[in-house]
Structure 1
């Protein structure tokens, strides 16, 4: 049973438009740069409050990416799975939302 669930999960794919993919990749590239900036700040012994403010900015940017992905997921994958009778997607979504809200 576990193998079937794992196989089913690995076969599922998202349906992001090329525009959405480009948007997400651009945001993630900026976040990657921000994280490199935080590492550099620590290496240069920048004042802790300044580093913490930069970390807060990175967290906010990641949250924005998560919100975009969640919205797209709900508007496409979740709706499709509910329409095909896979109501367990609601439980999956609730677990995911709880993780995002930590």
Structure 2
């Protein structure tokens, strides 16, 4: 995990969707707790795997939403500064690569 704290004067790109992202993440947290209960209860493997897939897709949806927010906000604000834009493009490319590899 890298430390990319925003500059104090900047606002995160996801700020407008923050509540939505938090709601989705809380729902995913509940799904993961449900998975723990399923394992504790010796639930059939395929049923657990089905729920793991659902939780994974939910996390991917959050990741794509955050990436979209980044592109629409952070990249737009960096457009007038070529060095900053290059940094943001590199960050976005790395994030996409991590999503694709997972």
Q: Same fold judged by TM-score > 0.5?
A: yes
Question: Could you list the per-position Cα deviations for residues 13-38 of structure 1 after superposition, in whole angstroms to 9, with x for gaps in the alignment?
Answer: 51412xx1111111001000000000
**1:14 aligned to 2:12?**
yes
- In structure 1, the gaps of 5 or more residues are 1-5
TM-score normalised over the length of structure 2: 0.83
Q: How many pairs were matched up? A: 93
Structure 1: distance between partners of 2:23 and 2:89: 30
Deviation per residue, 1:27-53 (Å, 9 max, x gap): 001000000000000000000000000
Q: CA deviation at 1:80?
A: 1.1
Partner of 1:54 in structure 2? 51
Across the aligned residues of Structure 1 and Structure 2, the Cα RMSD in angstroms comes to 1.4
Q: Choose the corresponding residue for 1:42, options 34, 39, 55.
A: 39
TM-score, reference length from structure 1: 0.83
* Preserved contact between residue 6 and residue 12 of structure 2 (Cα < 8 Å): no
CA distance in 2 between partners of 1:72 and 1:66 (Å): 10
TM superposition outliers: structure 1 runs of 4+ over 3 Å = none
- Gaps of at least 5 residues in structure 2 are none
Cα distance in structure 1, aligned partners of 2:72 and 2:6: 19
